[in-house]
Amino acid sequence: MFTGIVEELGTVLVAGSRLCIGCSLVMSDIVVGASIAVNGVCLTAVEVRPDGFSADLAPETLDRSNLGDLKAGDRVNLERPITLAARLSGHIMQGHVDGTAVLESFVALENGNWELLVRVPEVLDRYLVFKGSIAIDGISLTIADVNDRRVRVAIIPHTYEATNLATREPGDRLNIECDVLAKHVEKLLARITLPATS
Q: What residues are annotated to the active site?
A: 2, 35, 42, 44, 58, 96, 142
55 membership: H or E segment, kind and range: strand 52-56
Rounded to whole angstroms, how far apart are CA atoms 39 and 87? 21
Q: Decide: 4 and 163 in contact? Cβ < 8 Å.
A: no
**Strand partners of residue 47:** 54
Q: Decide: 179 and 91 in contact? Cβ < 8 Å.
A: yes
Rounded to whole angstroms, how far apart are CA atoms 163 and 138? 9
Q: Decide: 97 and 60 in contact? Cβ < 8 Å.
A: no
CA neighbor of 29 nearest in space, from 81, 85, 75, 89 = 81
Rounded to whole angstroms, how far apart are CA atoms 159 and 189? 35
